[in-house]
């Protein structure tokens, strides 16, 4: 701050005794958060305010800069003091105009608030702050067009609230709010919420970059209108939802993630949206959640590395613990789809792994470990195939009302004690690699809805499991469905008539029947080895799958196949279907 000749100093002494904390001197009830107020979205400023990369540039014009130093119970202002309004009583300061505000120091019980014109863009630099307010948000945005917060390099910034906070969060905004790192990205913002949420914005909430440590007694980060994360490092510990967007206005309530690192522990949901969720990249470690990623609208994953470990409880209709899930709406139905175009997803444990009305896998690497269905395409009703309801406002319209599970590419590895891949309607495999290990009575490795048959027209499929409900698929690609008793972690292999390996898989659970389909099989005789010794390189590291193995040897049985047909040697298999 040493370069500025125009300085102005204001000391505001706090009251000796403040009854009820800072709220009594702020007198701002009209803008306090009302937990029963549900019409926040009726604001005329609901339309998106365009994001501009120039917003993240810190101004160098000294005439538009103010420096604010917090000194426990007072403020010291340097630079352009006309940008700042200090209240005559209490520890409160307002940022009034377009400009850049550097803030540092400690505030024991007070508030910094943005209250500018609706066309103003306010830039705030957290330059090493420790802010606390007893009964409202320590940092609040009341009015402006945009507020851009930059976390200065090399600084540690702490914001906390009290159990009596009348706002919804320790950082609370009624307007567009964005966060950004300094040039080196070495600063940190730590927010601890002792009353409700850590960061809450009723409009657009954007994270361009930065390092964040979030702890709350309810939700972590909430952008009601939308939540957009371009990049950043996030550590969130919340007994409620870690990240959420909850507008019920059509086209809003969405979450968009381009990149970032996310270490999340949450009691309810890791990411929750009333609209859509789109993930383009990033590294995610989400644990102890009821649902790791959940939306009322569509969920689309284009990239990223996701490790999802929800807490699994109960079974049957009361079971919980989902990796990726379309939530039910007010009519107790799902209307959203799940599409996976790329990335690596590892659902290490779950009740149900991936659930939606239409689930489409086009690419990526997906590992699912579940106690019920690993993939479940269902609208949540028990009405059989078809059905479906219109979308709730704030989400994309589904492309079909019939449940469908489609594998059009990628690598899928399933281990489950329920159904492996299960659809209440269509089930189609056209490409990719699909490996299913299923155990448990009353379930099957591949399960289509009543009136449907699983259809295999391409790709590589190995589905091994219990016999009770299992049935042969409908195919246009050569396949076989046969009894084959194998123990857990033995290698099942298929060799051609010349002894060359077609494929092999170290199946993680015992099984009684197995379905195999690949374009490498045609009309002919093939050797099936249930306890093979293999040499070669795995197709995907850690999968125990070879396509092909260099060699596979062991005691074999022979099966004859016909080109474009499924050879079935199983008797007594039940029909598909079920809910």
Q: Which of 248, 238, 270, 151 is nearest to 202 (CA)?
A: 248
What's this model's pTM, rounded to 2 decimal places?
0.89
Helices (H), 456-513: none
What DSSP letter does each residue of 211-270 carry, written as one string? Answer: EEEEE-SS-SEEESSEEEESS-EEEEEESS-SEEE---STT-SEEEE-S-EEEEEESSEE
- Name the pLDDT band for 3 (thresholds 50, 70, 90): very low
- Name the pLDDT band for 401 (thresholds 50, 70, 90): low
Pair type for strands 524-529 and 556-561: antiparallel
- Say whether pLDDT at 1 is over 80: no
Helices (H) and strands (E) in the chain, counts: 1, 52
Pair type for strands 490-495 and 524-529: antiparallel
Neighbours of 406 (CB within 10 A): 20
Pair type for strands 84-86 and 92-95: antiparallel
- The conformation of residue 24, written as its DSSP 8-state character, comes to H
- Name the pLDDT band for 59 (thresholds 50, 70, 90): confident
pLDDT of residue 16: 27
Distance of CA 314 to the CA centre of its chain: 23
Distance CA(268)–CA(265), nearest Å, equals 9
- Name the pLDDT band for 14 (thresholds 50, 70, 90): very low
Distance CA(134)–CA(169), nearest Å, equals 12
pLDDT of residue 317: 64
- Name the pLDDT band for 197 (thresholds 50, 70, 90): very high
240, 306, 310, 381, 509 from 313: Cα distances, Å: 17, 22, 10, 22, 22
- Say whether pLDDT at 575 is over 70: no
**If you average pLDDT over residues 184-189, what whole number do you get?**
98
**If you average pLDDT over residues 288-308, what whole number do you get?**
97
Q: Which of 502, 498, 499 is nearest to 549 (CA)?
A: 502
pLDDT of residue 529: 98
Distance CA(104)–CA(125), nearest Å, equals 9
Q: Which residues make Cβ contacts (< 8 Å) with residue 351, sequence separation at least 6? A: 310, 312, 313, 314, 315, 319, 320, 321, 322, 370, 371, 372
- Name the pLDDT band for 424 (thresholds 50, 70, 90): very high
- Pick the residue with more confidence: 63 or 382? 63
Which structure tokens are listed for 422? 């299960």
Burial (Cβ within 10 Å: 0-12, 13-18, ≥19) of residue 107: buried
**If you average pLDDT over residues 140-159, what whole number do you get?**
97
- Name the pLDDT band for 19 (thresholds 50, 70, 90): very low
- Say whether pLDDT at 300 is over 90: yes
- Name the pLDDT band for 86 (thresholds 50, 70, 90): confident
340 has which bridge partners? Answer: 301, 361
Q: Give the percent of the chain with pLDDT over 90.
A: 76
pLDDT of residue 34: 34
Angle at 227 between CA 401 and CA 237, to 5 degrees: 105
Q: Which residues make Cβ contacts (< 8 Å) with residue 348, sequence separation at least 6? A: 307, 308, 309, 367, 369
What DSSP letter does each residue of 327-364 carry, written as one string? Answer: PP-TTS-----EEE-SSEEEE-S-SEEEEESEEEE-SS
**If you average pLDDT over residues 383-405, what whole number do you get?**
46
- Pick the residue with more confidence: 348 or 393? 348
Pair type for strands 551-553 and 533-535: antiparallel
- Say whether pLDDT at 393 is over 80: no
Asked if 15 contacts 90 with a C-beta cutoff of 8 angstroms, the reply is yes
- Say whether pLDDT at 172 is over 80: yes
Asked if 320 contacts 339 with a C-beta cutoff of 8 angstroms, the reply is no
Pair type for strands 533-535 and 566-568: unpaired
192 has which bridge partners? Answer: 160, 215
- Say whether pLDDT at 301 is over 60: yes
- Pick the residue with more confidence: 381 or 445? 445
Question: Which tens digits make up the pLDDT trace of 206-260?
Answer: 999 999 999 999 999 999 999 999 999 999 999 999 999 999 888 899 999 999 9
Burial (Cβ within 10 Å: 0-12, 13-18, ≥19) of residue 58: middle
pLDDT of residue 89: 58
Distance CA(75)–CA(94), nearest Å, equals 11
Computed on alpha carbons and rounded to an integer, the radius of gyration of the chain in Å comes to 29
- The conformation of residue 490, written as its DSSP 8-state character, comes to E
Question: Which tens digits make up the pLDDT trace of 434-447?
Answer: 999 999 878 899 99
Residues written for the chain: 579
Domain boundaries, the chain: 1-13+38-239, 480-568
Asked if 300 contacts 275 with a C-beta cutoff of 8 angstroms, the reply is no
When mean pLDDT is compared across 108-117, 380-389, 426-435, 523-532, the lowest value belongs to: 380-389
pLDDT of residue 2: 34
- Name the pLDDT band for 400 (thresholds 50, 70, 90): very low
CA 75, 80, 82, 84 dihedral sign is negative
- Say whether pLDDT at 23 is over 70: no
- Say whether pLDDT at 88 is over 90: no
Q: Give the percent of the chain with pLDDT over 70.
A: 86
């Amino acid at each position: 701050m040493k370069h500025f000749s125009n300085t102005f100093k204001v000391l505001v002494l706090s009251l000796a005794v403040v009854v009820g904390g800072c709220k009594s001197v702020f007198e701002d009830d009209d803008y306090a958060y009302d937990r029963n107020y549900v019409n926040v979205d009726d604001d005329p400023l609901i339309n998106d305010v365009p994001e501009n990369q120039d917003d993240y540039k810190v101004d160098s014009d000294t005439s538009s800069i103010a420096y604010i130093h917090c000194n426990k119970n007072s403020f010291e202002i340097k630079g352009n003091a006309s940008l700042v309004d200090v209240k005559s009583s209490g520890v409160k300061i307002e940022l009034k105009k377009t400009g850049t505000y550097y803030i540092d120091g400690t505030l024991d019980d007070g508030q910094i608030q943005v209250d500018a014109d609706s066309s103003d863009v306010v830039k705030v630099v957290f330059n090493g702050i420790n802010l606390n307010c007893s009964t409202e948000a320590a940092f609040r945005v009341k009015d402006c067009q945009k507020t851009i917060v930059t976390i200065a390099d090399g600084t540690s910034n702490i914001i906390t609230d009290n159990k009596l906070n009348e706002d919804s969060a320790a950082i609370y905004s009624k307007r567009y709010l964005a966060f950004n790192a300094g040039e080196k990205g070495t600063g940190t913002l730590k927010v601890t919420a002792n009353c409700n949420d850590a960061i809450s914005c009723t409009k657009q909430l954007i994270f361009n970059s930065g390092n964040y440590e979030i702890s709350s007694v309810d939700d972590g980060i909430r952008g009601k209108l939308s939540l957009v994360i371009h990049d950043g490092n996030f550590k969130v510990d919340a007994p409620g939802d870690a990240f959420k967007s909850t507008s019920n206005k059509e086209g809003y309530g969405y979450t968009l993630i381009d990149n970032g690192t996310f270490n999340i522990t949450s009691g309810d949901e890791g990411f929750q949206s009333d609209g859509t969720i789109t993930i383009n990249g990033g590294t995610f470690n989400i644990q102890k959640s009821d649902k790791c990623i959940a939306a009322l609208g569509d969920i689309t994953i284009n990239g990223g590395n996701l490790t999802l470990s929800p807490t699994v409880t109960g079974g049957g209709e009361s079971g919980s613990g989902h990796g990726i899930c379309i939530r039910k709406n007010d009519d107790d139905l799902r209307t959203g789809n799940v599409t996976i175009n790329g990335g690596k997803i590892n659902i290490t444990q779950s009740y149900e792994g991936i659930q939606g009305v239409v689930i489409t896998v086009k690419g990526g690497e997906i590992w699912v470990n579940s106690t019920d269905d690993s993939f479940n395409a269902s609208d949540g009703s028990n009405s059989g195939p078809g059905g479906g309801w219109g979308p709730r406002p704030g989400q994309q319209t589904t492309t079909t009302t019939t449940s469908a599970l489609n594998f059009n590419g990628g690598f899928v590895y399933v281990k489950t004690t329920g159904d492996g891949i299960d659809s209440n309607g269509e089930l189609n495999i056209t490409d990719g690699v699909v490996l299913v290990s299923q155990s448990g009575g009353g379930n099957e490795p591949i399960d289509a809805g009543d009136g449907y048959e699983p259809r295999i027209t391409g790709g590589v499929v190995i589905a091994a499991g219990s016999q009770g409900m299992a049935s042969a698929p409908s195919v246009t690609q050569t396949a076989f469905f046969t009894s084959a008793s194998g123990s857990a972690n033995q290698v099942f292999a298929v060799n051609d008539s010349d002894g060359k390996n077609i494929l092999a898989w170290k199946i993680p659970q015992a099984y009684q029947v197995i379905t195999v389909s690949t374009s490498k099989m045609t009309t002919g005789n093939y050797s099936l080895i249930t306890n093979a010794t293999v040499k070669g390189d795995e197709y995907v590291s850690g999968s125990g799958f070879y396509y092909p193995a260099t060699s596979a040897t062991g005691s074999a049985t022979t099966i004859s196949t016909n080109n474009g047909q499924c050879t079935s040697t199983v008797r007594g298999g039940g029909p598909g279907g079920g809910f």
